[in-house]
Amino acid sequence: MGFSFKTHASDFSAEYITVRTAATISGYNQQYLRRLLRENILQSKRIGQLWLIDRDDFLKYLRHAKKSEDKRFGPQ
């Protein structure tokens, strides 16, 4: 009984988004998002080379970035 991604895919899709999806939503560069993940600024899971970002944590990060007075903080 190994791990089957198909049986657990719906669990991941409800809670996690890919780096590509996060970049599309936010306007951030994918490399910048990966740096945030490596520095543990965003909650995530890593499966091999695939990073999955916790959706709620990412949305909270975006809300914080939009409220920031430092405009270097938000997406470009």
Write out pLDDT tens, residues 46-74: 899 899 999 999 999 998 888 877 666 55
Write out pLDDT tens, residues 17-55: 999 999 999 999 999 999 999 999 999 998 998 999 999
Between 11 and 39, where is the model more confident?
A: 39
> What backbone torsions phi and psi does residue 51 show, to the nearest 5 degrees?
-95, 135
Domain locations in the chain as residue ranges: 10-67
Spatial distance between the Cα atoms of 60 and 26, rounded to a whole number of angstroms = 12
At residue 33, the pLDDT reads 95
Please state the pTM of the whole predicted model. 0.73
- Nearest Cα neighbor of 31 from 20, 40, 42, 41 is 20
pLDDT above 70 (res 4): no
How is the beta sheet containing 44-47 ordered, strand by strand? Answer: 16-18, 50-54, 44-47
